[in-house]
Amino acid sequence: MPLLVMKFGGTSVADLDRIRNAARKVQREVERGYDVIVIVSAMSGKTNELVGWVEQTSPLFDAREYDAVVSSGENVTAGLMALTLQEMGVPARSWQGWQVPINTTSTHSAARLVDIPRANIDQKFAEGMKVAVVAGFQGLSPEGRITTLGRGGSDTTAVAFAAAFEAERCDIYTDVDGVYTTDPRITSKARKLPRIAFEEMLELASLGAKVLQTRSVELAMRYKVRLRVLSSFEDGDETSGTLICDEDEIMESKVVNGVASSRDEAKITLVTVEDRPGISAAIFAPLADAGVNVDMIVQNISEKDYDDHPGSVTDMTFSVPINQVERAKRAMEEARQSGQITYDELVVDTEVAKVSVVGIGMRSHAGVAARMFKALADENINIKVISTSEIKISVLIDRKYMELAVQALHDAFELEQA
């Protein structure tokens, strides 16, 4: 029997009506001949309520108890979804993480999946059950305690089930109807992509397109799970939404498929750093130790010879998430005080944004960077930092130009046209 995994996020199961709506979509797939594994999130708002209670109770909470409390939201939805399906005449039952069991590491609140034994669910399918409803976001530690997977955990659960059960596809139902060429709130010219390659989605996800969490896309890419993102509030068919798949499945890709932007960036510059072998490690090791996520890095190799700096010096610039600026500053100041590094000044610029173009077609096409920089120059937008990967070019610019830059790039790469 072919099998589908269908995942419904919090807004898709926010109340009993929406659960019924989601169940009808499941029923339709059963009628088409699929066995279905449904992964559910908590009803929207419920997880926040539970997290709020935990944080009010204990600011430095025991993550094991946090997980025990917070996981209950998904359990409620799983039971209600199974009941709704039964009411529609579809043989269904619910599974909590420990019942499958979804085995994870012991890293509470940020556990990683270890394995998902199929035996229990397979047996029920063999007995005639058509739908297994599984509480997402949770698992069981080797110590027998409940774990949660952290942000995006339900998407990750869905992809992992699709991999374990060799599903034909993993459909992620959410409150948007697919992946767009760029944020439709920034330009109305944004176009929904029918297909996008894993690698592209990964770059877009990590760049702040909130449709899917990076982690679930990584897992899908590794196990070649065909992922589809679509709206739970629209009627659709097999072609609805956006299919995230191997690039082999995408016939002809454009050079650039998406423009992503992120405003939660800050730029830090260490002025007049001693330029010697090992200096990069001396700077970035303390940042890593402090848990700072450094993104872009630029070293301005300057040959200027300062009076008070007889050797070769340089400026070092990097970007970090804006809410990690204080942590980064502290790590740098401590490294300077302990003599690991030297610099004259630490300059923070919190008025920046990152804009990126992404496309697997870039690999085989030269001139993408030039076309990007020209489009920005035509709008008089100054580029502060550049970084590139195989299928992505990112620039840091003044935040006030972010929307303008996105629109200019969307036009320059003709993303409006299919």
99 lines the binding site for its own copies (CB under 8 A): yes
The HSE-up count of residue 93 (CA atoms within 13 Å, CB side) is: 13
Q: How would you class 277 by CB atoms within 10 Å of its CB: exposed for 0-12, middle for 13-18, buried for 19 or more? A: exposed
**Phi, psi dihedrals of residue 329, rounded to the nearest 5°:** -60, -45
Distances (CA, A) of 260 to 228, 264, 364: 20, 13, 21
118 lines the binding site for its own copies (CB under 8 A): no
145 lines the binding site for its own copies (CB under 8 A): yes
Task: Out of 12, 41, 75, 240, point to the residue binding its own copies (CB under 8 A).
Answer: 75
Task: Out of 68, 129, 341, 369, point to the residue binding its own copies (CB under 8 A).
Answer: 68
Any bridge partners for residue 105, and if so which?
none
Report yes or no: 383 and 372 within 8 Å, Cβ to Cβ: no
Minimum distance from residue 134 beta carbon to its own copies (Å): 12
Q: Which is nearer to its own copies, 93 or 309 (CB)?
A: 93
- CA-to-CA distance for 315 and 172, rounded, in angstroms? 45
109 lines the binding site for its own copies (CB under 8 A): no
State the first-to-last Cα distance of the chain, in angstroms, to the nearest integer: 35
24 lines the binding site for its own copies (CB under 8 A): no
Any bridge partners for residue 243, and if so which?
195, 228
302 lines the binding site for its own copies (CB under 8 A): no
19 lines the binding site for its own copies (CB under 8 A): yes
Q: Are strands 227-231 and 169-174 parallel, antiparallel or unpaired?
A: parallel
69 lines the binding site for its own copies (CB under 8 A): yes
Q: Which is nearer to its own copies, 99 or 299 (CB)?
A: 99
**Phi, psi dihedrals of residue 68, rounded to the nearest 5°:** -60, -40
Give Rg (Cα) of the chain.
24
- CA-to-CA distance for 226 and 217, rounded, in angstroms? 10
Minimum distance from residue 29 beta carbon to its own copies (Å): 20
Q: Which is nearer to its own copies, 68 or 271 (CB)?
A: 68
Q: What is the DSSP string of 193-230?
A: -SEEEHHHHHHHHHTT-TTS-HHHHHHHHHTT--EEEE
What token pair was written down for 38? Answer: 């449904």
Q: What angle do CA 17, 212, 403 make, to 5 degrees?
A: 105
What token pair was written down for 74? Answer: 């998904």
Farthest CA pair distance, the chain: 84
CB atoms within 10 A of CB 276: 12
Q: Which is nearer to its own copies, 67 or 295 (CB)?
A: 67
Q: Which of residues 78-97 bind its own copies (CB under 8 A)?
A: 78-80, 82-84, 86-87, 93-94, 96
Minimum distance from residue 370 beta carbon to its own copies (Å): 57
Minimum distance from residue 79 beta carbon to its own copies (Å): 4
Q: How many residues bind its own copies (CB under 8 A)?
A: 35
Give the range of 76-84, 153-161, 182-190, 254-262 binding its own copies by CB under 8 A: 76-84
Q: Which of residues 25-64 bind its own copies (CB under 8 A)?
A: 50, 53-54, 56-58, 61-62, 64
138 lines the binding site for its own copies (CB under 8 A): no
Minimum distance from residue 56 beta carbon to its own copies (Å): 6
Task: Out of 5, 102, 132, 146, point to the residue binding its own copies (CB under 8 A).
Answer: 146
| Residues found near its own copies in the complex (CB under 8 A) | 16, 19, 50, 53-54, 56-58, 61-62, 64-66, 68-69, 72-73, 75-76, 78-80, 82-84, 86-87, 93-94, 96, 98-99, 144-146
